[in-house]
Amino acid sequence: MAAVGRVDVAVVGGGPAGAVTALLLARAGRHVAVYAQSRHEALRLDEAPPPSVNPLLRKLGLWDRFLADSGRLGPMVVEAAEQAGAKVLRGACVGKVSRSSTGLRIEADKPALAKMVVDATGRTARVARAFGAHCVPFEKLVCVARVFDISPESAGDTFIEAAPDGWWHVSPLPHRRRIISLFTDAQEAARSRLATVDGWTRAMARTEHVRDLASGVPCGKIRVTTSTSHELAPPVGEDWIAVGDAAFAVDPLSSDGVEFALRSAIGAAEVLLGGDRSAYRRQVADEASAYRRLRASRRVGQPLASRAETSRAVGIDGAAPSRSTEQDAAALA
């Protein structure tokens, strides 16, 4: 078992937030190790980010590369971090991060000793919670998703439909694929057995429009992931910092998750390069406050069935899904 050795920063998680943090630190000359559990061989749910992230990608110098990689954000940023000098450990599972007299011990197949650690473990915030942070939840949602191979002419735009048990989201993906997701309460997902083909198909059959978009060949199994929105308190400690969904996770309907992931990575890198921790705390707190106001003004926090009654039909703006992706993102922002 070869060890990574001593590093300035260990990043646990290889999603966009963790990878961008590593990229910026590597560019600044820091010795960084990224423990990326995913090998980015399978399609991820965040590989088709909204156009609102485009200015941030330009700021990071990644825009041309993003376009060249067919719009797949996750693998592109990981590769950019690696080329900038970060050591990327693909398929790496971190068992534990613990403090010692000589630094932070990263227990994994290839262990490391780090001065600082970045929690990029997503909504679980596994590293930060082990150090005493806690998640303040806004609501409890799960995403039940299925990917389809489709014909080029049926790609379409992003599409949303409300339903009594939640809301459906349809979005094109790279490589002639489409993802269809149902966001609903965790208890409803279990009660209706939405993780099974029969349960998911029955729920989709009750829709007015999404059922017509489920054309093509299913790719892989139905995936269930947590979509619970929360704020991490605190988002940064003496020797660790959380980024992306670990620090602040939003209802996917807000379409802000990937954008915050990049903004938080920029803020976290500034802290790790000697910046003010309190500024990062304010950044996360301000994002959470703005999200609370959005939920209050748009009734995002009301029960799902009531929300569906308020917004029964179909496209992002209540019309058929014929608008451009840029307009879709503006309507959701």
How far apart CA 77 and CA 14 sit, in angstroms, is: 9
Residue 46 sits in the same domain as residue 96: yes
Q: How many residues does the chain have?
A: 333
User: What is the Cβ-side half-sphere exposure of residue 235, based on CA atoms within 13 angstroms?
Assistant: 32
The residues that bridge with 147 in the sheet, in sequence order, are 179, 219
For residue 42, with 0-12 CB atoms within 10 Å meaning exposed, 13-18 middle and 19 or more buried, which class applies?
Answer: exposed
For residue 19, with 0-12 CB atoms within 10 Å meaning exposed, 13-18 middle and 19 or more buried, which class applies?
Answer: buried
How far apart CA 319 and CA 332 sit, in angstroms, is: 14
The answer to whether the beta carbons of residues 283 and 241 sit under 8 Å apart is no
Residue 42 sits in the same domain as residue 61: yes
Q: What DSSP string describes 153-212? A: GG----EEEEETTEEEEEEEETTTEEEEEEEEEHHHHHHTTTTSHHHHHHHHHT-SSHHH
Reported confidence tier of residue 8, pLDDT bands at 50, 70, 90: very high
User: Closest Cα to residue 300, out of 314, 285, 310?
Assistant: 310
pLDDT at 237 over 90: yes
Rounded mean pLDDT, 178-198: 92
How far apart CA 218 and CA 164 sit, in angstroms, is: 25
Residue 24 sits in the same domain as residue 129: yes
- The whole-model pTM stands at 0.76
pLDDT at 40 over 70: no
- E strands, 74-122, in order: 87-90, 96-100, 103-107, 112-119
Rounded mean pLDDT, 17-26: 98
CA torsion sign, 250 to 255 to 258 to 261? negative
Residue 309 sits in the same domain as residue 192: yes
pLDDT in tens, 107-150: 999 999 999 999 999 999 999 999 999 999 987 888 999 999 98
Domain of 222, in residue numbers: 141-227+302-332
pLDDT at 46 over 90: no
How far from chain centre, in Å, is Cα 2?
Answer: 31
Residue 85 sits in the same domain as residue 170: no
Domain CATH code at residue 210: 3.30.9
Residue 96 sits in the same domain as residue 166: no
User: What 3-state class would DSSP assign to 43?
Assistant: coil
Domain CATH code at residue 69: 3.50.50.60
Residue 256 sits in the same domain as residue 315: no
Q: How far apart are the first and last CA of the chain?
A: 46
